[in-house]
Amino acid sequence: ITPYLFSYAGLLFDLFVFPALLYPRSRKIAYFFVIVFHILTFTLFPIGMFPWIMLFLTPITFSNRFHFRIQKYVSKYSKIFPESIK
């Protein structure tokens, strides 16, 4: 019964997490579940780098404001972005 539980839980997670990430009010809780899900899959299944790649690529669904804040923070403390982008 455990494999069925995990497969259906993964199916439900995949179906509902993307719309939840796109909706601003549920984005934080959805990302929390993304973190829990992918750390759990990393510890339970030997699937390589996939969980870590998905963890770091999931913020692509966040708003533009989030990305501009990250860019501003990074440019403040490093020389990755030129000053003209600010």
Whole-angstrom Cα distance, residue 41 to residue 43? 5
Q: How confident is the model at residue 80 (pLDDT cuts 50, 70, 90)?
A: low
Are the C-beta atoms of residues 4 and 11 closer than 8 Å to each other? Answer: no
Tokens of 66: 């989030």
Asked if residue 39 has pLDDT above 60, the reply is yes
Residue bearing the bigger pLDDT, 22 or 80? 22
Whole-angstrom Cα distance, residue 35 to residue 41? 10
> Is this model's pTM higher than 0.75 or not?
no
